[in-house]
Amino acid sequence: MYPLKRNRRLRSNEAIRSLVRETIITPNDFLVPLFIVEGKGVKEEIASMPNYFRYSLDLLENEVKELWNLGLKSVLLFVKVPDNLKDNKGTEALNPNGLMQRAIKTVKNICPDMLVMTDVAMDPYSSYGHDGVVKNGLILNDETVDILTDMSLSHAEAGANFVAPSDMMDGRILSIREAFEANGFYNTGIMSYSAKYASAFYGPFRDALDSAPVDMENVPKDKQSYQMDPANRFEAIRETEMDIDEGADMVMVKPGLCYLDIVREIKNTVDVPVAVYQVSGEYAMLKAAAEKGWLNHDAVMMEQITAIKRAGADVIASYFAKDVVKLLNK
């Protein structure tokens, strides 16, 4: 007898396909990265990230309102720091009136229910473009953890709901959690970039913040001594489990598409929410191919976002968030 099972029955029209679809994308899936600069009336397009912008605080207000009205309820803040405020210790990161601290207050002011997460890392503040203190060609771990802890406290004091340490120093989650408890920030969460790879896909982001490692003697040329080797899988599990033990509320895999095997492995191993960061280079690749007419932008975007969620992402940080939600609303 010819097959009793014909799998195509479940694909025969949109009604049945939508009935049995396993992965549904909604605005609730997204965390929206935002780039912030000093100034007034500034909305600058990032050269390597078409249709993505840096905003000054006044224009950030409109953007945040628009996101909220689209149902996007979580943002992840990054600041571009003027060169003259950068040093090897990230001193400006602790300024209670610094750009990040003002940005947190601006978002909370305009939209009190918006979930505000902040990037905690030294690189935008570092004169060397590194996520840690540089000494004799090395990145110092424990000195950096102290700075990251103070930076986290400063963000919590300004009103951040979550801090998101993206540096990959050892022991920073425990240090930040202990400092939060000791200072009464019991409800301030930590989303750890727990499996963050030393990826070439971060290039456009470093353009956006002017934060790439500088080319100088005795300064490491890349971040391979702290971010993970793309060749490794078991290490990702170890890193993630350690961050959870140290007190991370959520963990993250970054970048997204090239690392979906890691996402699934971690999703099957841990019981906290797993975030995935679809990074700047992934965004840039699709924008460029679509500009050339080589790929259908919206179709490929939806396929990629669906793949990330299907792999196990509970939360997706993506520069496509607004594009996706606008498409869903069409």
**Residues annotated in a binding site:** 239
| Nearest approach, Cβ of residue 189 and ligand PBG (Å) | 17
Q: How many residues bind ligand PBG (CB under 6 A)?
A: 12
| Nearest approach, Cβ of residue 202 and ligand PBG (Å) | 4
* Residues 23 and 313: beta-carbon distance below 8 Å: no
Q: How many CB atoms lie within 10 A of CB 270?
A: 18
DSSP assignments along 76-107, one per residue: EEEEPPPGGG-BTT-GGGG-TTSHHHHHHHHH
Burial degree of 195 (CB within 10 A; 0-12, 13-18, 19+) = buried
| Nearest approach, Cβ of residue 166 and ligand PBG (Å) | 4
Q: Is residue 192 within the footprint of ligand PBG (CB under 6 A)? A: no
| Nearest approach, Cβ of residue 119 and ligand PBG (Å) | 5
- Interface residue with ligand PBG, options 29, 63, 119, 246 (CB under 6 A): 119
CA contacts within 13 A on the Cβ side of 178:
11
* Residues 270 and 239: beta-carbon distance below 8 Å: no
Q: Which is closer to ligand PBG, CB of 8 or CB of 36?
A: 36
Three-class DSSP category at 11 = helix
Q: Is residue 280 within the footprint of ligand PBG (CB under 6 A)? A: yes
Q: Is residue 166 within the footprint of ligand PBG (CB under 6 A)? A: yes
Name the one range near ligand PBG by CB under 6 A: 7-15, 38-46, 145-153, 199-207.
199-207
Name the one range near ligand PBG by CB under 6 A: 38-46, 67-75, 119-127, 242-250.
119-127
Positions in the binding site for ligand PBG (CB under 6 A): 119, 121, 123, 131, 166-167, 202, 205-206, 223, 279-280
